Amino acid sequence: MRYIGNKTKLLGFIRGHLRRLGIRGGRAVDPFSGTASVARMLKEEGFQVVAGDIMRYAYLFARAYVELDREPGFSGLAAEVDSRSASGLLDPSEPQPSLSSDAALPARHTPDLRAVLRFLEHLEPEPGFIHEHYSPAGREGARHGRMYFTPENAARIDAIRAHIAEWHAGGLMDRDGHDVLVAALIEAADRVANTTGVYASFVKSWQPNALVSLRLRVPHFTPRNGAGPSKALRDDAATIVAQAGTFDLLYLDPPYNTRQYAGYYHIPELLAVGWLDGAPELRGKTGLIPDEAKRSDWSRRSRCETAFERLVAAAPCRWIVMSYNDEGIIRHSTIEDVLREYGDPASFRCYRRSYRRYRSDEDSEHRNYRGDRVSEYLYMVRKE
């Protein structure tokens, strides 16, 4: 998923410095897990990980890609998925058995995740909430000129999300299956979203990626690497750390700027929460959803440094590692002073890595980037 602050390209940088300092194994807490790329890496490194975030979509990623060790089962879907498979609706390019008699039907078996995703992918488009509000074919979408998704992709998202919700509500699959399927849908929708990477605005002409038909990908699950079970939590960072007990590593990757993720990723959040129990009231040209409870002090200049110091002071851990860039709203001097005060000053380290910045748009009279490259800092201190 395209995401502000995604650390996928910096995993080697982070992993290398953890290994150089001998920080391996034990329990790790990542309370700003986002797309869960670092949390998954920590799990691969042998940590028992607590991954959390205040956003529901990030919590689903942590559930699907950190808490779970293997793909869930879908025995409750055997009748429906087998039936559609026998009718040739999973993949028309694959040879199908003759349906001249009941004897020709394949024996019913438990479908795996790939079969379930393929089934969902081949559902007939069914216009619903996303089509109505976030595509130009819907009445509300047209009224506001919203072009987040093409009408076809919007209707396919609606059909898939409705099917997942109905399966779960009807007891045909458990929470693990639900969360994995919704996480896969959020990522698939992001790949065809007519945005530049954030949902604070949409592009007013169709981009090439938006015209591609939505496809669901089978996720990769990270098995345990000699550690205990990992856990996903949804809450603010201070509460997640307080609930984690004592642990070995606190990895911090807080927001860098004043953009509230609740507004920049409102459509992934909407897909995560769903609307089976009632559609939310949307506001503004971009169709924002209610988000006051998900606004973070870490994205407020007047509160971020206080939030940082309180979290560091309260964390019952052996090591603190913080990833932050040179354009962040928490000052470099504050980060160093706080880590030295609450950790062992002699153990403090700061490493720098330059990389090509993520651009959600081009320079304009309203938005000027400082350059094409940005520096990522990795702060580390031992806190016994």
Query: What is the spatial distance between Cα 30 and Cα 7, in angstroms, rounded to a whole number?
Result: 13
For the chain, the straight-line distance linking the first and the last C-alpha, in angstroms and rounded, comes to 36
Return mean pLDDT, the chain: 89
Are 246 and 210 part of one and the same domain? no
User: Does residue 289 fall inside a structural domain?
Assistant: yes
Residue whose C-alpha is closest to residue 286's, from 259, 261, 263, 309: 263
Q: Could you tell me if 288 and 339 lie in one domain?
A: no
Q: Helix, strand, coil % (nearest 5) of the chain?
A: 40, 15, 45
User: pLDDT digit string (tens) for 40-77?
Assistant: 999 999 999 999 999 999 999 999 999 999 999 999 99
Q: How confident is the model at residue 362, as a pLDDT? A: 54
Task: Give the chain's domain count.
Answer: 2
What's the mean pLDDT in 255-272? 92
Residues whose CB falls within 8 Å of the CB of residue 337, separated by 6 or more in sequence, listed in order: none
Summarised one tens digit per residue, pLDDT across range 242-254 is: 999 999 999 999 9
Confidence at residue 87, expressed as pLDDT on a 0 to 100 scale? 46
Residue 279: which pLDDT band, with cuts at 50, 70 and 90? confident
Q: Are residues 181 and 83 in the same domain?
A: yes
Considering the domain boundaries, does residue 95 fall inside one? no
User: How large is the average pLDDT for residues 245-274?
Assistant: 94
Identify whether residues 35 and 175 lie together within a single domain: no
Does 105 reside within a domain? Answer: no
The whole domain housing 135 covers 74-88+110-219+264-295
The answer to whether residue 99 sits within a structural domain is no
Last residue of a domain, one of 240, 275, 295: 295
364's CB contacts (< 8 A; 6+ apart) are none
Q: In the listed set 295, 313, 338, which residue is the last one of a domain according to the structure?
A: 295
For the record, the structure tokens of 253 come out as 């990757």
Q: Are residues 83 and 154 in the same domain?
A: yes
**Looking at the structure, do residues 80 and 210 belong to the same domain, yes or no?**
yes
Q: Are residues 249 and 204 in the same domain?
A: no
Tokens 């530049």 -> residue: 196
Does 232 share its domain with 284? no
CB-based contact 99:105 (threshold 8 Å)? yes
- Out of 241, 272, 295, a domain closes at 295
Q: pTM for the full model?
A: 0.88
Which residues have a Cβ under 8 Å from the Cβ of 326 and sit 6 or more positions away? 332, 374, 375, 376, 377
How far apart CA 357 and CA 215 sit, in angstroms, is: 28
CATH code assigned at 328: 3.40.50.150
Whether 93 is covered by a domain: the verdict is no
Establish if 191 belongs to a structural domain.
yes
Q: Rounded CA gap, 68 and 143, in Å?
A: 42
Distance CA(146)–CA(287), nearest Å, equals 8
232 part of a folded domain: yes
Q: What string of DSSP letters covers 148-217? A: SS-HHHHHHHHHHHHHHHHHHHTTSS-HHHHHHHHHHHHHHHHHT-SSSSSSSS--SS--GGGGSPP---
47 and 114 both lie in a single domain: no
With beta carbons less than 8 A apart as the criterion, state whether 323 and 335 touch.
no
Q: Residue 341 domain-assigned?
A: yes
pLDDT over 80 (residue 108) = no
Distance CA 122, CA 124 (A): 6
Both 367 and 243 in one domain: the answer is yes
**Which pLDDT tens digit goes with each residue over 123-133?**
999 999 999 99
Whether residues 239 and 342 share a domain: the answer is yes
HEC profile for 311-340?
HHHHCCEEEEEEEEECCCCCCHHHHHHHHH
For residue 92, what pLDDT is reported? 39
Residue 67 per-residue DSSP state: I
Q: Could you tell me the pLDDT band of residue 85, with boundaries at 50, 70 and 90?
A: low
Residues 252 and 338 in one domain: yes
